Amino acid sequence: MQAVTKLTLSATPETIAMAKQLASERKTSVSALFAKFIRDLHQLEHLAASSHANHAVKDLLGSADGWPADMSYDEIIRQAIHEKHGVEP
């Protein structure tokens, strides 16, 4: 068993609620969910960096580039819908 170190993260109440809901749905903890996310992201980035990486993987990894760090996912979706369809969701 690996040693475990406590990590404190900051997030909005909405993000915390989403994390708890996802963890509950997957019958795991928020800590385990976070650890899996980091391992998976690390693996994907190493795959994309390799010379054998599929271009689709590289495109997927780059699809979130440029999203403002101060905007929530919901705000980004609302803005995209407004820009594409000219309506407020």
Report which of residues 89 and 23 the model is more confident about.
23
- Percentage of residues in the chain with pLDDT exceeding 70? 70
For the chain, helix (H) and strand (E) counts, in that order, are 4, 0
Nearest to 65 by CA among 48, 50, 87: 48
Q: How many CB atoms lie within 10 A of CB 35?
A: 14
pTM for the whole structure: 0.53
Those residues with Cβ within 8 angstroms of residue 88's Cβ, 6 or more apart along the chain or in another chain: 78, 82
- pLDDT band at residue 53 using 50, 70 and 90 as cut-offs: low
List, for residues 12-22, the tens digit of each pLDDT value: 999 999 999 99
- pLDDT band at residue 11 using 50, 70 and 90 as cut-offs: very high
CA atoms within 13 A on the CB side of 63: 8
Report which of residues 1 and 50 the model is more confident about.
1
In the chain, what are the domain boundaries? Answer: 13-85
